Amino acid sequence: MQAANIDINKIQKGDETEFRLLFNLFYPRLMSLACRFVSDAVAEDIVQSVFVMYWEQKATLIPDAIHSYLYKCTQNNCLNYLKHQAIVLGHEEEVRLAEERIAFQSERSDANELWNEVVERDIRKLLEDSIAKLPPKCRQAFELSYFKEMTYKEIAEAMHISPRTVEEHVQKATKFLRTELKDILFCLLFLLR
């Protein structure tokens, strides 16, 4: 997704109007990403903190890397939150193992292409099977939001329903999938970054 209609140079100079346009463009996408791993309330806090970090560092960031920066920060903050929760709940070992798996994959991603493809295919199959369990309208709204990266307004027009109904469908789907896929969230976090 491109931020073609947003002047990043103006944002770097402190233009709040242009920053608001960037926020409005990326906020729903980052919320969708964060809600895959954490509750809606936590996701909201994480996404808002990402925008605060961006605003504070705006002058030093590379304009062409804004999309990557926002997504990476959101994913990292989700992982940090999950790590903190795991520690609070006494599951440090699970976090350590997940980090080791992620590090192993990162270090050997080129040499282990086949292994990566097998793992990714298996996880995607689990994800597809879980998505298939959603009610049709709920599934359609979710897929258009997550996979086609359409806004709620665009989805509402395509499905001939209100944006609020689209939001309810996406939230319902996200909640269901978080429960359904709770055992593979760390793997999904790695694969979707």
Q: pTM for this structure?
A: 0.45
Q: List, for residues 149-180, the tens digit of each pLDDT value.
A: 889 899 999 999 999 999 999 899 888 888 87
Stretch among 9-13, 47-51, 105-109 having the lowest mean pLDDT: 105-109
Stretch among 5-9, 72-76, 92-96, 114-118 having the lowest mean pLDDT: 114-118
CA atoms within 13 A on the CB side of 119: 16
Mean per-residue pLDDT of the chain: 79
